[in-house]
């Protein structure tokens, strides 16, 4: 089987993992790795090829539920069973219930409100001449949108940002546990308040009321878990889509100029941003319940498997010259939002927010430029993004 490759041995892995992925891909599409500390710890099997990753995302032998191996994560223990840790038929049931409430029409109806929130944030930010784009724009925009969509009352942004960061990029085990306890208490109180209130036209209220034809509905624990995954995943990916997208444009002035000259390129530019520096580096864990051959490599039963979404986006077999950022590239086929049963439910909302945010920012800040280093990357193997993006205009 060979010795596991220690990703912590690569000094610049968090800041720039792509050369490491290229080196691994040259040896083969599947590798046993030791995850970098402190955010991650332990061993996993990492899939780095595009076609192999795409196939793994729909492989029923790679299960999502850790319970099938006899253990559970903090999210399941403290919050409940959500979409990212279930398999059919349980996953099918949960997804069908939330899809009833989270419709394409509901997402599209948000367009004017997203534009208004965007404009208000830019009104507050632009007079200052410089800002941390994450703190002032990329974070509050999707957080405000998802909170309004779910019907979450105003929450302390700094407090929630702390909790969200600790969930998706934990600093240590103790902090991660304490944050899950805090978040679970908040969500359960929120749902009880919703139940006791008059019916409202928000997504969380709709999920409380939603009933399938056979009378099935979400249990209290399932509601809490659904609120958790929609609230965290519903803003975290979009924060980093916007911030990393702007960062890529500012690092490639020719591409920024091309987009400013022709805004019809915006849709394709967002897809290239997702491919080039997508917000999710690796899909959440999958597990082998028995010895399983993946791309010619036998992964032992009981193993954790990471499907490399970022690595797949830089596979030259699928995307020629993958390290070149090109907004005119046909980036369709990327798997930044996953693939198959677990394809991101909120992908249309993230794309809509990203396009509105980028168009409005570029329109209103024609001299936008970096105002210092943007290299404080979030730790861990899940979320890819910078903690701050200093800009001026």
Average pLDDT over residues 83-104: 87
354-370 tens-digit pLDDT:
999 999 999 999 999 99
Q: How confident is the model at residue 388 (pLDDT cuts 50, 70, 90)?
A: very high
Q: List b or e across 134-147, with b for residues whose CB sees 16 or more CB atoms inside 10 angstroms.
A: bbbbbbbbbbbbbb
Res 2 pLDDT > 90:
no
pLDDT of residue 233: 85
Res 315 pLDDT > 90:
yes
Q: Where are the domains of the chain?
A: 5-392
Q: What is the 3-state secondary structure (H, E, C) of 336-382?
A: CCCCHHHCCCCHHHHHHHHHHHHHHHHHHCCCCEECCCCCCECCCCC
Average pLDDT over residues 81-86: 91
Q: Which CATH superfamily is domain 5-392 in?
A: Cytochrome P450 (1.10.630.10)
pLDDT of residue 197: 81
Residue scoring higher pLDDT (337 or 192): 337
pLDDT of residue 164: 83
pLDDT of residue 6: 94
Res 214 pLDDT > 70:
no
117-139 tens-digit pLDDT:
999 999 999 999 999 999 999 99
pTM confidence score: 0.93
Closest CA to 43 of 385, 384, 383, 381: 381
pLDDT of residue 279: 96
């Amino acid at each position: 089987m060979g010795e596991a490759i220690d990703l912590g041995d690569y000094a610049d892995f968090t800041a720039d993992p792509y050369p490491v992925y290229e080196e691994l891909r040259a040896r083969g599409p599947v590798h046993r790795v030791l995850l970098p500390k402190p955010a991650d710890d332990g061993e996993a099997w990492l899939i780095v090829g595009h076609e192999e990753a795409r196939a793994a995302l729909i492989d029923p032998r790679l299960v999502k539920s850790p319970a099938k191996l006899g253990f559970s994560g903090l999210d399941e223990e403290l919050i409940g069973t959500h979409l990212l840790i279930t398999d059919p038929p349980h996953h099918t049931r949960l997804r069908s219930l939330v899809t009833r409430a989270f419709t394409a029409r509901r997402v599209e109806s948000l367009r004017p409100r997203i534009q208004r929130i965007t404009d208000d944030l830019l009104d507050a930010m632009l007079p200052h001449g410089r800002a941390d784009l994450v703190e002032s724009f990329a974070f509050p925009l999707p957080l405000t949108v998802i909170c309004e969509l779910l019907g979450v009352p105003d929450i302390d942004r700094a407090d929630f940002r702390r909790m969200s960061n600790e969930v998706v990029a934990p600093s240590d085990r103790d902090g991660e546990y304490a944050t899950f306890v805090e978040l679970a208490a908040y969500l359960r109180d929120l749902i009880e308040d919703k139940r006791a209130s008059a019916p409202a036209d928000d997504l969380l209220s709709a999920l409380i009321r939603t009933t399938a034809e056979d009378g099935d509905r979400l249990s209290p624990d399932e509601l809490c878990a659904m609120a958790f995954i929609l609230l965290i995943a519903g803003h975290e990916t979009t924060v980093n889509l916007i911030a990393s997208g702007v960062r890529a444009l500012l690092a490639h002035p020719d591409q920024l100029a091309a987009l400013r000259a022709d805004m019809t390129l915006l849709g394709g530019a967002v897809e290239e941003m997702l491919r080039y520096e997508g917000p999710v580096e690796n899909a959440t864990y999958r597990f082998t319940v028995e010895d399983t051959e993946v791309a010619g490599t036998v992964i032992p039963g009981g193993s954790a498997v990471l499907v490399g979404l970022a690595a797949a986006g830089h596979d030259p077999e699928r995307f020629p010259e993958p390290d070149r950022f090109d907004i005119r590239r046909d980036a369709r086929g990327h798997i930044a939002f996953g693939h198959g049963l677990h394809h991101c439910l909120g992908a249309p909302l993230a794309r809509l927010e990203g396009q509105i945010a980028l168009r409005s920012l570029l329109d209103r800040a024609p001299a936008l430029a970096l105002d210092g280093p943007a290299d404080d990357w979030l730790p861990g193997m899940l979320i890819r993004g910078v903690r701050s993006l200093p800009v001026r205009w």
